[in-house]
Structures are given as C-alpha cells and as structure tokens.
Amino acid sequence: MALTKNQEEMNRTAGASPGASRGLQWLWQHLSHLRHPHCFECGPIHQSTLDVLLLRGAKLYVSDLITPLQKNSEAFWTLQGKTRVFLIDDFMAQIPPIPSESLSAICCWGLLDLLPREVLPPLVERFHSYLQPGGVLFSILREPQVAAGAETRWWFESLTVLGSSDRSQKPFAYPAVTNREMEKLFPGGNVKTFLMRSGRREVLGVR
C-alpha cells in the first residue's frame, strides 16, 4: 500500500532521538528567511523558552491559555438550562491584541487536546487569522490510545529540542483530535504531521 506524504513523515520521525523535534526542525527551516519572527506562546512561559526565542530574535506575544484548562477553571463555563457550555469568546478574550496576518508562528502545544471539540473551530480560525502567509500553527496532539497526560507542560530546550513535564496521569476529558479532523479545522487544510515517541503527534498547520 502506498504511503501518503504525512505517513512517510511520521515513519521517518519515529526514529528521532528523545527530545529532538522533527516538527520544530521543519518549522525553523521554514522560517529561516525571517530575521525577527513574530511568535505567540500559548502556554505557561518557561525561562528556557524565553531565552531560546529571544536569542532567535523573535518578537513574542504571551498568554497562558493552558493552565486554566489544566486546573479545571470554572471561569469559562456556564449552564444553559441543564447543559454545561464552554464560553469560548470569554476564553479567547485572554489573547493579547495581535494584528491580523502578523504572526510567523503560534506555539499552542497541547491546547487543542484540552478543549471541548465544539469550540475548536472558532479558536483555530482565530489563530489562522493571526498568521501571515506562510505562518505556522505548531501544536502537539495525543494519539487516541493515550488516555492520560492532560497536565503535561512543554517548552523549548533549544530551537529544535522539546522539554516536557511528561509525568502527568490526569486523564483527558475529550476525544483525541485526528489528523483528518485537524485538516478540516485548519483553513486550507495544509497540515504536516510528525510522530513523537511519547504517543503524541507534532501537527503543523501552514497558512
């Protein structure tokens, strides 16, 4: 059976050394022509991440969208009748003012695994609107068989090496986002996938 382009990339990545990121290698090669890439960091900021990106000459926007979800914050939930509803507009209000088509990269890490499936389309559409042509949404998604790890944190050890606190046993509340679903979520469907050793995928949407 012939492999798709994404399957070939996933097979090649399976042999990568621990911590080495084929997705980040691709990302920074893709952005190598930019002297000062504009990046949005969506997780709890780690000093190593700051050091690495500032050394690269990046301009940074930072907003920790991940910690409130990992701590099950009730601030973004309401009841409509007997139905519990996630307030996606309130959630996105945490994002700092970012001009349209201005970002080279968005690091959303495992954010998409932590949100109800029905609120992903408006969030991904918002992220897409921030990306300049050729800009990249970098995310880490779990494989369906990975049931726990919802509190995992990610950061840059270097431009192409990931650090993580991958000892979390907290279960995920929602089903895993498949590659096909990600292609449908990301406008234009230009998505690259790299398999990680930990049962996760690096998924890059390119505008």
Pairing between strand 161-164 and 131-142? unpaired
From CA 126, how far away is CA 148, in angstroms rounded? 28
From CA 87, how far away is CA 77, in angstroms rounded? 6
Q: What is the pTM of this model?
A: 0.89
- Taking CB atoms within 8 Å and a gap of at least 24, the contacts of 144-147 are 144/175, 144/176, 144/178, 145/199, 146/172, 146/176, 146/198, 146/199, 146/200, 147/171, 147/172
Alpha-carbon separation of residue 125 from 58, 89, 130 (angstroms) = 23, 13, 9
Asked if 124 and 137 touch (Cβ cutoff 8 Å), the reply is yes
The predicted-structure confidence for 22-68, as pLDDT tens digits, reads as follows 999 999 999 999 999 999 999 999 999 999 999 999 999 999 999 99
The predicted-structure confidence for 137-167, as pLDDT tens digits, reads as follows 999 999 999 999 999 999 999 999 999 987 7
